[in-house]
């Protein structure tokens, strides 16, 4: 049976930097509040004249494909994780496929929010192990900023979320070494669906979209921040230990932990509980905010470029978010 190995990583973030001080000008918030509660100093917002979810994904994908040293035409399947697609339908997978000129190959969209990238990785892993595909492109890309409410009412959500894209190439390998995706672990608990969600426009309403909705908070992300925080710190730890146990490994064996960049306080709490040192954890939320499904591949790409993720390293990625969903994966690089 083939193993699935990540052979290329890339990312793209929009050029426009929005600092906490920029947000102070449009809502009742402060750099100190945002830094203290979330760790975020600045984030990137897309350029509506230039960036789309699909073309940002394509830029990240091209970097990952170049690093994998394969031709774009060798990609035989796309898994695209996003909760902010360019269209209500079709999904972003087909748009990325078009951007890359890969007409004919399958393209699957994943809507598991912050856990979306790990859900997507698990699909690539399983298709490769089953022998169905050899080179799967896995992408997480989001444009959150166009839905943020830039005023006092929206401040608790708006200061956190932002835009970006990350991609990896997952390839089949028959090499006898132990490098590759060791396992993936996926969970969900729909009882908490409305604790972090966007209600409208919803398909099960008599009228999906009304004029009144424009001013209603229902079209914006609603987040019960305290509830998310409390569940996240428990589920992160559970799912990391689950992955370690499944592979008969210990926390000490980890070279690097890359958490979904939800909130620096969540990452730091989990780090402390696990007893990981600062150089065993990679965070970049300070620069990019929370980019939902894109945050893990963006962080992986930066960690790789900065030499903090190296060949042979044992990497743990883990995520928690809307659904609630949570997930982890252990990867030997
Ligand atoms: C969102 C979060 C930062 C809020 O921090 P908190 O300490 O729980 O803050 P609270 O929601 O209790 O709000 C505290 C006060 O700050 C205010 N506040 C909220 N957003 C603010 C902002 N951007 N700037 C200034 N004040 C703000 C609140 O209105 C509240 O004021 P009050 O005490 O007068 O009512 C925190 O709950 C959190 O990080 N949750 C997890 C969120 C997350 O990770 N989401 C991503 C999931 S993938």
What average pLDDT does the chain have? 97
Nearest Cα neighbor of 294 from 171, 186, 144 is 144
Angle between helices 92-100 and 53-68 (to 10 degrees): 50
The predicted structure's pLDDT at residue 175: 85
Looking at residue 96, its pLDDT comes to: 98
Residue-level pLDDT at 2: 85
- For residue range 172-191, list pLDDT tens digits in order: 998 878 899 999 999 999 99
Look at the domain 3-173 and name its fold. Answer: Peroxisomal Thiolase; Chain A, domain 1 (3.40.47)
pLDDT tens string 282-297: 999 999 999 999 999 9
Ligand 1 contacts CB of residue 224 (under 6 A): no
Atom 42 of ligand 1 has which residue's CA nearest to it? 225
pLDDT attached to residue 174: 87
Q: Which atom of ligand 1 is nearest to the CA of 157?
A: 1
Give the pLDDT confidence score for residue 97 in this predicted structure: 98
- pLDDT tens digits, 52-84: 999 999 999 999 999 999 999 999 999 999 999
As annotated, the residues of the chain forming the CATH 3.40.47.10 domain(s) are 3-173, 180-332
Q: How far is the CA of 85 from the centre of ligand 1 (A)?
A: 27
Contact 66, 60 (CB under 8 A): no
**Mean pLDDT of the region 83-112:** 97
Express each pLDDT in 220-265 by its tens digit.
999 999 999 999 999 999 999 999 999 999 999 999 999 999 999 9
Residue with the smallest CA separation from ligand 1 atom 5 is 37
- The CATH number of 180-332 is 3.40.47.10
Q: Do residues 317 and 331 touch, judged by C-beta distance below 8 A? A: yes
pLDDT value at residue 44: 98
**Using CB atoms within 10 A of its CB, is residue 117 exposed (0-12), middle (13-18) or buried (19+)?**
buried
CB of 262 closer than 6 A to ligand 1? Answer: yes
């Amino acid at each position: 049976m083939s193993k699935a190995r990540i052979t290329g990583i890339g990312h793209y973030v929009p050029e426009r930097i929005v600092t906490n001080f920029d947000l102070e000008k449009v809502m009742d918030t402060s750099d100190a509040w945002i830094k203290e509660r979330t760790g975020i100093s600045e984030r990137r917002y897309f350029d509506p004249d230039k960036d789309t979810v699909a073309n940002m994904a394509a830029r990240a994908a091209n970097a990952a494909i170049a690093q994998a040293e394969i031709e774009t035409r060798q990609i035989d399947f796309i898994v695209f994780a996003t909760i902010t697609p360019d269209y209500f339908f079709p999904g972003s997978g087909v748009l990325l496929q078009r951007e890359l000129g890969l007409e004919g190959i399958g393209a699957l969209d994943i809507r598991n929010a912050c856990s979306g990238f790990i859900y997507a990785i698990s699909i690539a892993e399983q298709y490769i192990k089953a022998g169905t595909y050899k080179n799967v492109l896995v992408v997480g890309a989001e444009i959150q900023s166009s839905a943020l409410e830039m005023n006092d009412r929206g401040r608790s959500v708006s200061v956190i979320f932002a835009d970006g894209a990350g991609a990896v190439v997952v390839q089949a390998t028959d090499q006898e070494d132990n490098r590759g995706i060791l396992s993936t672990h996926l969970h969900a608990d729909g009882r908490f669906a409305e604790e972090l969600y966007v209600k409208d426009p919803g398909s099960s309403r008599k009228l999906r979209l009304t004029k009144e909705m424009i001013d209603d908070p229902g079209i914006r992300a609603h987040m019960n921040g305290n509830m998310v925080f409390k569940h996240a710190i428990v589920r992160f730890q559970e799912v990391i230990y689950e992955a370690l146990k499944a592979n008969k490994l210990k926390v000490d064996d980890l070279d690097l932990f890359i958490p979904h960049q939800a909130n620096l306080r969540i990452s730091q709490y989990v780090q402390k509980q696990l007893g990981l040192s600062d150089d065993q954890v990679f965070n970049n939320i300070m620069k990019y905010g929370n980019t939902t499904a894109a945050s893990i591949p963006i962080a992986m790409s930066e960690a790789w470029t900065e030499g903090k993720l190296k060949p042979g390293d044992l990497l743990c990625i883990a995520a928690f978010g809307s659904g609630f969903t949570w997930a982890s994966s252990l990867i030997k690089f």
